[in-house]
Amino acid sequence: MSKPESNKPEFILCAAIKFKDSILCGYRHGDVVDLIKKIQPDYKYINIHETVGFLTSKNRFVTRKEAFKIAQSMNQIWHKLHDGVEENILVSEDLY
């Protein structure tokens, strides 16, 4: 008998951005921004630390800082590309 889904370790699935009452996802944040710009051409980030994050395997939206901790614990970070970017945050380029 397999274990319930809730017992499996949580990992990062993809980049995500909160947009209005939804969470839109893609491989990279830029892919999501392109989608949003098709929906609303004048879109600008309101608060990048609250609206830009990741979706987890447990269907949770998490911030870049929380995503970094999850990805690090699951050995998902292939390389660090943080030139000039705050340390201990995850960027989608770190994953693939």
If you ran DSSP here, which 8-state letter would residue 12 be given?
Answer: E
Domain that holds residue 42: 19-76
pLDDT for res 10: 98
User: Is the pLDDT reported for residue 72 higher than 70?
Assistant: yes
**In-domain check, residue 86:** no
**In-domain check, residue 64:** yes
Per the CB < 8 A criterion, the answer to whether 95 and 56 are in contact is no
CA distances from 52 to 48, 71, 79 (A): 5, 16, 20
Residue type present at position 25: C
* pLDDT per position as a tens digit, 9-60: 999 999 999 988 899 999 998 899 889 889 888 877 666 666 899 999 999 9
**In-domain check, residue 96:** no
Query: How far is residue 53's CA from residue 62's CA, in Å, rounded to a whole number?
Result: 6
Q: Please give the model's pTM, rounded to 2 decimal places.
A: 0.82
Here the tokens at position 25 are: 């996802």
Residue type present at position 3: K
Least confident of 1-5, 52-56, 60-64: 1-5
**In-domain check, residue 65:** yes
The structural domain count of the chain equals 1
